Amino acid sequence: MNPLFFNIQFMKYIFFIIFVSHLQAQNHSYFSIIPDLGAIDDKCYLDAVTYDSNYIYILGSLLTSQDSNGRNKVWDIYLSKFDYHGKLIAKTIFPDSSDGIPYIDANYPMIKINDSLYFYSWNLHEYPPQNNSDYEAFIIDIKNAKIIRKKRIPRPFPGDYYFIHYCKAFFHNGKVNLMFETNPNDTIDIHYYMYEIDTSLNNFKIDSIGRFNQKLTFYWVSKNQKNEYEFVGEVSKIKNGEITSEMNLFYMKMDSTFKIIKRQDYIGNFNYGFVTADNYTILRNEDNTWVMSAYDWVITKEPDPNYGKPTTLKFSPEFDSLIWKRSMYEKPVDVKLMNSWIYYADKMKDGSGYITAGDQYDQRVGGRENYAVLYKVSENGDSLWTRKYIPLGWTKERTAGTGMSQVKVSDYNTIIMGGIAGDRDQNYAVRAWLLHLDSDGCLVPGCNTTINTKDVIDKKDKAFVVYPNPSSSGKIYLLSRISSNEKYNLSLLNLQGIEIYKNEFLPMEGAQYFIEIPEKIKPGEYILQIKNKSNVQIEKLIMAK
């Protein structure tokens, strides 16, 4: 074959793929939804998120049965598939997946085997003689919504005090490695075990790692080209036989026989640690550098509680040097009573930086500042932005607490974020919550831009952005690019000028408001009018089928 002809055909193919990908990327919209997944009393957890080029998949557990007194609850696994407009395409409940034993909510990552198969582990809530949960391992086919196989993970000490793993892991030569820690007698005598599990779930190779004179928690385990194990985690000091609140981050390398090749701790001016068991915020770049979000943990004297400030750090491949560190761009004023918890991190596909998801938990008496948080730092460690979210259409009074379990950057460089929200209007039911955002963390594109109020008065710019338009979902988002102490009226009129919907709000710059159009309003063209005493903005709004 003529090489020139081959090169031309190859370039045409590449341009075609780019063109199709561009079209697919344009066929997205951004959303924040509390999906109705059919759970009893709306009690439903979102534990894990993944995606392909067409769909977003969420995995979780929901309440499927209880007696008339609200006891004897049965929780089952579900898998739901959404398109990139937030439409629920399919939902599958896997009945009796837990054999009647409730699952414990945890945001373990789904570990990818191939484009359809994933490995996942789930805690089972069991009572004495075991004081903590057992685990079940699953192989799940997300595209065909099937549990291929499941198996209880054996304990090294049956009936031990606790048995748990926290590590982010990967498949290597068809096997996944998980580092478990176990305690047979409720003391600081902690044993560490490496589990190697293949996709058949029939072979559990268990190796003792031994014990350490410190309390170690392993948050990352992987194998390199030499089949050496690499770990990142948190070390807690032990004083007078008790685990203290002092901690630091560490890197460790072991050979295939679990002999330590290298151990490097990071000692900073403060105590840095991951703190929560649900923290999967460690990323590794192609050059083997590490980027991770942890807590700048401030130890206080009694009776004040300790508190942490979310901080992103970048380390050299073996922790020999700290390249940069950056605290979350925006922190609450009262950090002792308004803790910012972080759970998951990912890297933007365009190389523009790293995002970390979590939530703000208000511990003040009568406090209502509970919301999800997403923040971004650049490749160079610059603070870029912080976003706050509550479920659209809810108020601060309704939101009892949030937890952003996972965040993933799609192949289109958009952001998929999933978690839970507590609903005071539904007797504090915990409900699944799913968001799809643009690369700036916006529901409404352009949420990070500001304008001059004088330009609004002079009609040079618009104070509000309406998205999407046309709308086929019956939901409209409104981005405010100004702040005002005066309320604005919002009206939807038909083409005859008759008002068919109205509301009012107090604009805050950067806030993204939710308008749910009544179902009785038919598809067609309408007029959206937003005004106060001195300003008016009129938009033609198209409601599509």
Token pair for 279: 């923290």
Residue among 468, 493, 488 nearest 478 (CA): 468
Q: Could you read off the pLDDT of 292-304 as tens digits, one per residue? A: 999 887 767 666 6
Most confident of the ranges 11-15, 130-134, 348-352: 348-352
Binning pLDDT at 50, 70 and 90, where does residue 335 land? low
DSSP designation for 40: G
Residue among 152, 143, 136, 30 nearest 79 (CA): 143
Q: Between 452 and 138, whose confidence is greater? A: 138
Share of the chain above pLDDT 90, in %: 45
Residue among 405, 413, 404 nearest 347 (CA): 413
Domains of the chain: 153-281 (2.120.10.100), 453-543 (2.60.40.3080)
Has residue 5 got a pLDDT over 60? Answer: no
Predicted confidence at residue 325, as pLDDT, reads 94
Q: Between 484 and 474, whose confidence is greater? A: 484
Binning pLDDT at 50, 70 and 90, where does residue 520 land? confident
CA 474 to chain centre: 26
Per-residue pLDDT, averaged over 389-415, amounts to 90
Q: How far apart are CA 393 and CA 238, in angstroms?
A: 48
CA 401 to chain centre: 15
Q: Please, are residues 406 and 59 in contact by the beta-carbon 8 Å criterion?
A: no
Q: How far apart are CA 449 and CA 438, in angstroms?
A: 14
Q: How far apart are CA 444 and CA 382, in angstroms?
A: 24
Q: How far apart are CA 270 and CA 248, in angstroms?
A: 9
Predicted confidence at residue 20, as pLDDT, reads 36
Has residue 427 got a pLDDT over 80? Answer: yes
Give the 3-state secondary structure of residue 7: helix
Predicted confidence at residue 333, as pLDDT, reads 61
b (16+ CB within 10 A) / e for 328-361: beeebeeeebbbbbbbbbbbbeeeebbbbbbbbb
Residue among 21, 44, 26, 141 nearest 85 (CA): 26
Give the 3-state secondary structure of residue 540: strand
Predicted confidence at residue 334, as pLDDT, reads 64
Mean pLDDT, all residues of the chain: 85
Per-residue pLDDT, averaged over 413-420, amounts to 96
Q: How far apart are CA 445 and CA 465, in angstroms?
A: 9
Q: How far apart are CA 96 and CA 457, in angstroms?
A: 62
Has residue 114 got a pLDDT over 90? Answer: yes
Per-residue pLDDT, averaged over 104-114, amounts to 88
Q: Between 391 and 357, whose confidence is greater? A: 357
Q: How far apart are CA 228 and CA 221, in angstroms?
A: 10
| 107 contacts: CB under 8 Å, gap ≥ 6 | 47, 48, 278, 280, 343, 344, 405, 406, 419
Q: How far apart are CA 67 and CA 502, in angstroms?
A: 42
Q: Output the CA–CA distances (angstroms, integers) from residue 123 to 128, 131, 167, in the order listed.
A: 15, 13, 14
Binning pLDDT at 50, 70 and 90, where does residue 269 land? low
